[in-house]
Amino acid sequence: MIKLPHLAACTGILLVVFSGTQAAEPFGAQVRGNDLETGKSDEVGGVGLTSAEVDNLPEYRAEAGIGGATFTPLLKAEASNPNSMGADDRTSSIAEAYQRFRNTSGSQLDVVLSITLDADFTSTGPDADSYALADVWIYGGSTFEVFDSPICPGGNLGRSIMLGDVYFCGQRLDRANMFLETDPAQAASSGSLVETLMFSVAPGAYFGVYGILRANAIDGSSDAFNTLSMEFDPVSAASLEASGMPPVSSLLVTVDIKPDSDPNSIDPGSSDVIPVAVMGSIDFDAAQLDPATVTFGVDGATPTLGGRIEDVDTDGFMDALFQFRTQESGIACGDTEAALNGELFDGTMVSGTDTVDTTGCNITASASGDEDDDDTNAAAMSWWFLTGFGLLVFRRLERRRI
């Protein structure tokens, strides 16, 4: 347990649980809120749900969802005591999520999971106090599975998680426990805790991640937004399959490479940049495209300046305009099209292509083509030599006869 001193009272939570890919089951997300003073209470979500939301502000608000290109769960919660009328007033928020992963590589995978708890507290009450408590469990092993009964194979008791009647059966591989508490002497403060979990998973084996974040506001007027985020290291993420999510298909968008240019001439060896526009329409708001996720070309060039929103084709709809370095795009001589990919701020994947006309390329015959030409020329010369030589011999023999 770690106590962070001199933080002011309030509470609120945001839980980001793991990154991964692919689809299957099981998974779940849930949010809860409770205000002891007013008697308000809500619980939304459960096993197999991808989203849940409750909004009972100013006491509490919570959202839970799983989506995006990597099927990353995202949970948010906020709690406060805006109208405290006495001692022992308590408002709480809880966010939790779990999911099963599989090691898809053909060898043992040493997984690294980074966990960060951030707190941002504010308060106007002299007696206000609050805390944020985060727990993350990793279960795995050869017998790991997710059950709806506490009796696991072999008669062992499973690890119960709060979200529904769900139990992790198997070996506990690691656990993180993080705690931040306010100090009533401080009107506002913030803090951060970081912890790293490391564990090994056999090839083809499964493991489960369960995270829960609790936050309480006790007495006084308080409001805050705390976050608990988790992220696999890139090597681990590339080999993990997250169960439970349906495949995400890309939203096709209209892309205009080098607007106002036809054809879209590109010299692959140029040091210039390539302007690329994602066109908005009545059905697509280009301003919702997250510039941090945008890539262009087979090598995934990233925007040089982050992009800007403007009406490129003056049709009344705003477009997103980006610039990419030519040599980072991977466009090569002979290419006839290039693609732009990215995500909207809500996690929806988008993609679009446009034609290109490569220039500045000295395209010569291939080695195999040169060999074919050489063979053809050699055959022709041989035929010419043999027929010419044969004709000369024949004529000389005819002269001798005469």
**Torsion from C-alpha of 315, 316, 318, 321, nearest 10 degrees:** 30
- Within a domain: 402: no
> Do residues 105 and 55 lie in contact, with contact meaning Cβ atoms separated by under 8 Å?
no
pLDDT tens-digit series, residues 11-26:
444 444 333 322 234 6
> Do residues 269 and 360 lie in contact, with contact meaning Cβ atoms separated by under 8 Å?
yes
Are residues 326 and 208 located together in one domain of the fold?
Answer: no
Q: Which position has the higher pLDDT, 342 or 152?
A: 342
Question: Can you give the CATH number for the domain in which 334 is found?
Answer: 2.60.40
pLDDT tens-digit series, residues 168-184:
888 889 999 988 877 66
Distances (CA, A) of 168 to 55, 99, 155, 171, 378: 30, 10, 13, 9, 75
Interior angle at CA 45, CA 39 and CA 46, nearest 5 = 120
Are residues 206 and 268 located together in one domain of the fold?
Answer: no
Euclidean distance between CA atoms 158 and 136, whole angstroms:
16
Omega of the bond prior to 268 within 30 degrees of 0, cis?
Answer: no
Q: Look at the chain and report how many structural domains it folds into.
A: 2
- Within a domain: 380: no
Residue 177 identity (one-letter amino acid): N
- Within a domain: 335: yes
The full DSSP string for 352-363 is EEEE-EE-S---
| Residue 249 DSSP SS3 | coil
What's the pLDDT score for residue 22? 26
> Do residues 272 and 53 lie in contact, with contact meaning Cβ atoms separated by under 8 Å?
no
Domain span at residue 19? 11-242
Residue 295 identity (one-letter amino acid): T
Confidence of residue 369 (pLDDT cuts 50, 70, 90): very low
> Do residues 286 and 280 lie in contact, with contact meaning Cβ atoms separated by under 8 Å?
yes
Are residues 219 and 268 located together in one domain of the fold?
Answer: no
Euclidean distance between CA atoms 309 and 314, whole angstroms:
12
> Is the pLDDT assigned to residue 7 strictly greater than 60?
no
Are residues 222 and 340 located together in one domain of the fold?
Answer: no
Are residues 208 and 296 located together in one domain of the fold?
Answer: no
- Within a domain: 235: yes
- Across the chain, mean pLDDT equals 75
> Do residues 186 and 5 lie in contact, with contact meaning Cβ atoms separated by under 8 Å?
no
Residue 375 CB coordination number (10 Å): 10
Q: 305: which 2 tokens? A: 């300046």
Within 126-272, strands assigned E span 129-147, 159-161, 166-181, 188-201, 206-218, 222-224, 226-232, 240-242, 251-252, 255-257, 265-266
Taking residues 121-127, report their average pLDDT. Answer: 67
> Is the pLDDT assigned to residue 71 strictly greater than 50?
yes
Are residues 230 and 266 located together in one domain of the fold?
Answer: no
pLDDT tens-digit series, residues 338-356:
999 888 887 788 888 999 9
What's the pLDDT score for residue 317? 94
| Residue 27 DSSP SS3 | strand
Are residues 57 and 81 located together in one domain of the fold?
Answer: yes
DSSP-derived pairing of the beta strands 90-103 and 206-218: antiparallel
Euclidean distance between CA atoms 238 and 254, whole angstroms:
29
pLDDT tens-digit series, residues 298-313:
888 999 988 999 999 9
Confidence of residue 131 (pLDDT cuts 50, 70, 90): confident
Pick the last residue of a domain from 201, 222, 242: 242
Strand order of the sheet with strand 251-252? 251-252, 349-355, 337-343, 295-296
User: Would you say how long the chain is, in residues?
Assistant: 402
What's the pLDDT score for residue 228? 75
Beta bridge partners, 45, equal 30
Euclidean distance between CA atoms 70 and 72, whole angstroms:
5
Residue 253 CB coordination number (10 Å): 22
Taking residues 200-218, report their average pLDDT. Answer: 86
Are residues 220 and 264 located together in one domain of the fold?
Answer: no
Pick the last residue of a domain from 212, 242, 272: 242
What's the pLDDT score for residue 51? 75
**Start-to-end CA span in the chain (Å):** 121
- Within a domain: 368: no
pLDDT tens-digit series, residues 36-56:
877 888 898 888 877 778 888
User: Locate tokens 């003056």: which residue?
Assistant: 314
Interior angle at CA 130, CA 33 and CA 31, nearest 5 = 20
Percent of the chain with pLDDT over 70: 69
Pick the last residue of a domain from 222, 242, 262: 242
Are residues 263 and 310 located together in one domain of the fold?
Answer: yes
pLDDT tens-digit series, residues 72-118:
567 676 777 765 555 557 888 888 888 888 898 889 999 998 888 88
Strand order of the sheet with strand 319-325? 255-257, 273-278, 319-325, 308-310
